[in-house]
Amino acid sequence: MPLTTLTVFTFRPGHRRWALAQMGTAPAQLQRILGLRFFKLMGSGANNGFGFWPHLRRYGLMAVWEDAAAAEAFFAQHPLWAQYQKRSAEIWTLRLAPLKAHGLWDGQAPFDYASTAAASAAAPVAVLTRASIRLRKTPRFWQYVEPTSAALAQAVGVRAAIGLGELPVVRQATFSVWESAQAMQQYAYHDARHREVIQLTRRENWYAEELFARFQVLGSTGTLDGIEPLAGLLGPG
C-alpha cells in the first residue's frame, strides 16, 4: 500500500546556504531512492509561508512511497535524511493517506491510488491545494494571498497551515491540518474570503494547472514552531 508523507524542516541559523543549495542538488539524490515514486522539494515564504519574500530556514518535502517500508528505510538510514536532520532545528513529519484528490501536479496524479483509510468526520484531516499560476495573473493572486491565508490560520479547528512552493511567485501550495473533516468543511463552505478567492480563480482563470487533495492523517512526529500541531489527537506517527 503506498504512503504519502509531508516533512517540514526548519533549519538552524548558519545553515541557510546549505538548505537553499539542496533545492538544486537534492532532487538528483531523491530520484535514485528505491521505493520513492513521487516527490517535491519546496521552499516556503515569510508569514507561515504565505508571504512574498522567502523564509530561508524553512523547506518542505512531499513524497509518495511505494509502501510504508520504503518510507521507513529512508527516514531511518538514508544519508540525505541524516544531513537534513543534522542541520535542522526542528522537523515535523506527517504520514498521510489520500481520501480525495483531483487535478495534476506537473502532469501527474500522485495521490490517485487506492487507500484503505476510512473517512471519519471526527478524525484529523489534511488538505493540499497546489497551483501553477499564470504569470500575468500573479499580481491578482498575491493580492489575495495575505488576507485569505490569515483567515485560514485563524479558522476554528485548524492546527497548522503553511505555504510551500516549488518556485517563487508562480508555483505555490497551501497545506493545512484540521482537527476534523467537519471543521475543515465549515471553513471551506462558510468563510466568505475563501469562497471569494475560489470564485475569482475560476472566473479569471488564474491557474495553468492545479491540484486539490484531502488526506486522513495517519501519524505525526516532531514539531513545528515549537509545538506538535496534532498533540492530543494522534499517537506517535
pLDDT digits (tens, 9 = 90+) for 169-183: 557 888 999 999 888
Does the pTM surpass 0.95? The reply is no
Which pLDDT belongs to residue 146?
64
Which pLDDT belongs to residue 170?
57
- Reported for 71-76, long-range contacts at CB under 8 A and 24+ positions apart, including other chains, are 71/3, 71/5, 71/35, 71/95, 73/34, 73/35, 74/33, 74/35, 74/36
Residue corresponding to grid cell 520504503: 70
d(CA 84, CA 167): 20
Calculate mean pLDDT across residues 207-223.
Answer: 92
pLDDT at 138 over 80: no
Which pLDDT belongs to residue 173?
84
> Which residue did the predictor score with more confidence, 166 or 228?
228
Which pLDDT belongs to residue 111?
96
> How high is the mean pLDDT of the chain?
87
Mean pLDDT is lowest, of 16-25, 46-55, 59-68, 126-135, for 46-55
Which pLDDT belongs to residue 132?
83
Q: Among 22-26, 119-123, 132-136, 198-202, which range has the highest average pLDDT?
A: 22-26
Strand ranges, E, within the chain? 3-11, 36-45, 54-65, 88-103, 125-133, 158-167, 171-178, 207-222
CA angle 100, 47, 228 (to 5 degrees): 60
Task: For the chain, give the percent of residues with pLDDT over 70.
Answer: 87
* Phi, psi dihedral angles at 122 (to 5 degrees): -100, -5
Q: Which residues pair with 222 in a beta bridge?
A: 92
- 149-178 burial string, b = 16+ CB within 10 Å, else e? bebbeebebbbbbbbbbbeeebbbbbbbbb
d(CA 151, CA 148): 5
How confident is residue 212, by pLDDT bands cut at 50, 70 and 90? very high
Mean pLDDT is lowest, of 39-48, 102-111, 147-156, 190-199, for 190-199
Sorted by where each starts, the structural domains of the chain and their CATH numbers stand as 3-218 (3.30.70.100)
How confident is residue 49, by pLDDT bands cut at 50, 70 and 90? low
